[in-house]
Amino acid sequence: MAVNSGRKMFTNPAISRVERFDDAFTGAEVASYKGILAKTLYFLAIILVGMGAFFYIHNYFEAQNYTATQIADGYYIYANEAIILFGALIVTLISGLVASFAVKTIPLTGTIYCAGMGYAVTFLSYTYAAAYSGIIVEALLLTVLIIGVMAFLYASGIVRVGRRFRTVVYTCLLVSLIGGIIFSLMLWLAPGSSIVTSILAIQNGPIGIVFAVLGVLLASALLLTDFETIAQTVQNGLSKKYEWYCSYGLMVSVLYLYLKVLELLARIQNNRR
């Protein structure tokens, strides 16, 4: 299939933006599964660097006897860590937005995003580990299991990803993100309001578990759209530059899935207490 005709099959808006780049010249090296895997492993390595940065900084503050707040037996958060986390989140947010609107910058912005998220996710995981025994191992195993199941469902053709599927998934994701931003603002501006109190009560009850399950399902569906994007990129012979977008999108979805699984397991443990 010709590259130009193959491109018309894409329904991913980010892919449509990438198409406008002048990277489809004759004789250009095309994307491959091997190249996408290599770049995915690169982003994974950057995430691990971010994770390592958290433990290095945390242990440094401990060795220097910085002021700390005990959040659980054997778990401490140092004051400067909150500042670093805030900085990491800001940088991550900016790089993620730039990557979304300027896809050509993903080799750089994607690297910054994965490093920042590696630190932020590890910080969050540390606080979850302090509150819930064994939750991190459970979350990692369940995340890997879900990725494997989604890969099987896609590869076997049991689940097919089309325009309608993408539309539903992206719409649900947008609603979820907007809702999360609104609630975060309410929690910051009016933490003691009746609305915030009611939402928190719901989150910590059985209904909260249902919403958490829906969040995991949404994250799993995002993985399927990533698999489809990867497959179409390779099958339609698109430029090798597309490998960066495919790998970055996959890692974003994996991180999102892990966070949703972590949230689900925490709510389940809350209801057992």
**What H or E segment, with its residue span, contains residue 62?**
helix 33-63
Closest-CA residue to 225 (of 200, 197, 253, 202): 253
Residue labelled with tokens 């469902």? 153
Give residue 273's pLDDT.
Answer: 62
Domain layout of the chain by residue ranges: 13-272
Whole-number Å distance between alpha carbons of 241 and 31: 7
Whole-number Å distance between alpha carbons of 77 and 209: 28
Whole-number Å distance between alpha carbons of 23 and 258: 34
Give residue 28's pLDDT.
Answer: 64
Q: Which two tokens stand for residue 36?
A: 């996408």
CB pairs under 8 A, 24+ apart, for 85-90? 85/119, 85/120, 85/123, 88/50, 88/116, 88/119, 88/120, 88/123, 89/116, 89/120
Give residue 208's pLDDT.
Answer: 86
Q: Is the dihedral of CA 223, 226, 228, 234 positive or negative?
A: negative
Give residue 8's pLDDT.
Answer: 41
The interaxial angle of helices 242-272 and 206-235, nearest 10 deg, is: 160
Pair 194, 258: CB distance under 8 Å: no
Give residue 65's pLDDT.
Answer: 84
pTM of the model: 0.86
Under the phi-then-psi rule, with left for phi > 0, alpha for psi from -120 to 50, and beta for the rest, what region is 93? alpha
Q: What is the pLDDT along the chain (273 residues), one digit of tens a residue?
A: 333 444 444 444 444 444 444 344 344 689 999 999 999 999 999 999 999 999 999 999 988 888 888 888 888 898 888 889 999 999 999 999 999 899 899 999 999 999 999 999 999 999 999 999 899 999 999 999 999 999 999 999 999 899 999 999 999 999 988 888 888 788 777 777 778 787 777 777 788 899 999 999 999 999 999 999 999 999 998 889 999 999 999 999 999 999 999 999 999 988 776
